[in-house]
Structures are given as C-alpha cells and as structure tokens.
Chain A
Amino acid sequence: MKEVLRIVDLHKSYQKVEVLKGVNFNINEGETKVIIGPSGGGKSTLLYCINMLVKPDSGSVILDGVDITKERGIYEARQKIGFVFQHFNLLLHLTAIDNVRIGPIRVKKVPKSEATEIAKDALKVVGISENLWNHYPAQLSGGQQQRIAIARAIAMNPRVILFDEPTSALDVELIGEVLNAMKNLALKGMTMLVVTHEIGFALDMAEEILFLESGIILEKGPPRKILENPKSERLQKFLSRLNKEKEGF
C-alpha cells in the first residue's frame, strides 16, 4: 500500500508548555486512523500542525514523499490535506453550495460550471439534498453544517482528510448523520485521520487507533486490541472514564 502521510518526530511548544513531544506515525492510502486521548493531550495541535495552520517547532510532515514543513509554498500542500473542524467553520456569507465550490473556483481555478458539478457530487456523498443547497449556514442544523464542511473538504479532491472532533459540538441526535457521512467517505476509499471519541466509529472503520497522551503516542494498534486489551495504565484509565461518560455516570 502506498504511504500518503508520514509524521516524523513532531514537536510543538506554546510558550513553555510542550504540547507535542515527538509524535511519529504514518497513514497509507485508503486507511482510516483514529486518534483518541484526554483533552489537553495535543490531539488538535497535532492536526493543526499537519496542515501547518500551526507551525511545528521541529520534525517533519511528509505528504506523498515531500516534507511540507520545508516547502515554501504551503498553499499547494494544504489543497491536498482536507480539514474538518470541530465547529464546522462554514463561511457565513455563502450558501451551502458556494461554501463547497469556492475552493475549486478560487484556489484550483476550475471553471464555475465544472466546480458546480464537483460541489454537487460532494454534497451527494454527504447526503445533503438539493433543497438545502441554497441555504446559508445560519439556516442549517449543526449536523447539516458539518456534512457541508466535509463536502467542502471532499471537493478539493484531497489526498487525506483530517477530522478534529467532528461530532463533539453536535447534539446527540445529529451525531449519527455525520458519522454516516464519514463512513460513506471511508468506504469510497478516502484516506482519513480522525480525532474522535466515538468508539463505535473507531471499531467499525479504523485500521488503527492511536492513543495520544501528554504529547506522545503512548499506544497504538488495531481497534479491538486497543479497546479491549489496553496495556498501559493511562489508557486503561482513559477508557474506563470514557465508558462511564457513555453510560451516564
């Protein structure tokens, strides 16, 4: 299998707090990997460093064999790395379909008619029906907004999509529709790196779970092994806390 992304010894500090202390992993074409870990463990920072929205202090992000931390034109690399945010971050002054096609039109300079077709296809993948295409973000539910945000990433035809807790800002009844859209996308062969605590999604879709704790990947492996047979004490504690939350204690 072809390697899409390799993260090598990534470090990042904010002032004196070291958030990432040497993170290493890779992800191959078509794979889905899930990152779990306590808040403050560096999960979001890791994702933001991968597409250089936050500049890492040292280490490498290698996309298709090219170290993009050393590249001058980061704008090119970002086109190949989709990003789905916790709070959707749709552009508020644009309709659903404009949010999806603005990337192809403005960044890739695709003709508008062609971009519209790309956008329509992407919106279909995430199950946004035609009657919503001309709605503005403020007129849509969180679940719909997040699925449009996923379509926005898809429309750029990226090599990999990073998801930063895509369902944690959603009401419980809206989580399913977003997870389904993500499953649909994974089944179509998209390479995905997902920060989430939706264990069901990880069990169904992930090739591997990475446990990120205090800035390093403490443990990794296939979902069943990680979830049912955690080795480190910290992962055991984290999972039992997660289970308690789910059961509502």
Chain B
Amino acid sequence: MQIFDFSVFSNVGGILYILKGAWYTLLLTFLSIGIGFLVGSLFAFCEVYLPSPFSFPFRAIGEILRGIPLLVFFLLLYFGLRLDMFTSAILGLGLRSAAYQAQIFRSSLEAINPGQLYAALSIGMTKFQVFREILLPQTIRIMIPGWSNEFITVLKDTSIAFVLGFSDLMTRADLISRSVGRYFEIYIFIALVYFLLVRLSTFALNRVYERIRIPGLGEKR
C-alpha cells in the first residue's frame, strides 16, 4: 500500500465537492467575525467606559467565553439550548470571537496615550469629537495586527463546526475520505486549502494595515 496515493485526486467530483465547502467555511468565518466585531466592540466599550459595578457583567461574560473550549460551547448551544446546526455554529464562533475581539479593542483603546486626549480637549473639542477624531481612528490602526490573528483563528476554527455536521471544508473532506477509504491524502489536501485561505487573508489584511498605519510609528529601524 502506497503512503501517498495520488489516484485519490482523480475523483474530480469528490474534490470539487470538498472545494465547494470553502464557501461555507468563508461564510461561517465572515458571519462569526461580523457578530464578534459588533458584540466585541460593544463589550469593549462597556468594559472601558462603564463604572465598575456596571462593567462587571461584561467582564465576567468575557471571562467565561474565553474559558470554555469551543467544542464544548458548540455542544452546549446545540444540545443544551437546542439551537439548530447553523445557529449553533455561528453563535459559538461569533460569541467566542466577541470575547477575544473585545480584548483586542480594549487594549488598543487603552494604548492611546491620554496626552493626546487632553490636547484635543484643550483646543475645545467635545468628548464625542475626541472619540470620533482621535480614539476611533487610532484604535482601528493599532488593532489591525492583533485583529488579523483573530481573523485567521476563527477561519481555522470553523473546522470544529464539523462536530455539528455543518457542511464546510472539514465535514465534506471527512465524508469523501470515508467514501474513498483514504484519509491522509484528503486531509493533506484540505490542510493546503486552509493554509491558502489563511495566507490570502493575512496578505489582504497586511495590505490594509500598510495603507492606513501611522507613518513613522513602530517602524523597523
């Protein structure tokens, strides 16, 4: 028996079937990242700006979401709350990502030196203007590298939605490998597909970062 049997890839129909799963992987990634972004920025905002008794629940929920394995969280949503497969997958990935994105926003928001905020107030800006003109544009610039990591984490972790039977790359690969009876080749194949998707995303996000980064700050010397 060969270690690597290329003939597996002559099953074009099967390979195409797996590749179509990439769309579902990407769909799941973008929806989860989107939910994570909205909920995460809300959480970060509440953690930073609400007085401590009110910010506590947001901190606590974040701690819990970051403290549970994703797989367990999926199963809790699916079997515990009896949500359907798709909702469990999106909520699981989205809410966990929200907890991490909140940390990225919070640390970026707090990385801005308060001197700049004083300066903006000193020329007569209102607090809202300070937020819009300084905090927001600088936070976005600072957070992109950390946020890129979160993006590729979510992209790869969509594969865990396999336990729910969500029809993504991983689930389809599993199905095909069972039917042809070869696992190694198919898993190497989807590892490559995941790797390419990750490279593509990092490339795109780095381009965005280079475009909007603040010139002269944090440059390699």
Interface residues of A (CB under 8 A from B): 51, 53, 75-76, 78-79, 81-83, 85, 87, 89-93, 102-103, 106-108, 135-139, 149, 152-153, 156
Contacts and interface: CB of A to CB of B under 8 A. Distances in A.
Interface stretch (B43-51, B182-190, B209-217): B209-217
Given A89-B113, A91-B120, 14 more contacts: A76-B124, A82-B122, A82-B123, A83-B118, A89-B119, A92-B138, A92-B214, A92-B217, A106-B125, A107-B124, A108-B124, A136-B215, A136-B217, A149-B119
A90 B116 CA distance: 6
A107 to B, nearest CB: 4
A81 B126 CA distance: 15
B123 A107 contact: yes
B84 interface: no
A209 to B, nearest CB: 24
Given A75-B126, A91-B116, A93-B141, A53 B121 contact: yes
B52 interface: no
A106 B133 contact: yes
Nearest to A78: B124
Interface in B68-124: 113, 115-116, 118-124
A137 B216 contact: yes
A93 B214 contact: yes
Nearest to B217: A138
Contacts of A76: 124
A137 B216 CA distance: 8
Contacts of A103: 123-125
Contact of B119 (A83, A106, A107, A139): A83
Nearest to A54: B118
Contact of A90 (B119, B124, B133, B141): B119
Given A93-B214, A137-B216, A75 B119 contact: no
A155 to B, nearest CB: 8
Given A85-B115, A138-B214, A138-B215, A107 B125 contact: yes
B115 A89 contact: yes
Contacts of A83: 118-119, 122-123
A84 to B, nearest CB: 9
B129 interface: yes
B138 A156 contact: no
Contacts of A85: 115, 118-119, 122
B214 to A, nearest CB: 5
Contacts of B134: 91, 93
Given A91-B134, A102-B133, A53 B215 contact: no
B122 A87 contact: no
A190 B94 CA distance: 56
Contacts of A136: 214-217
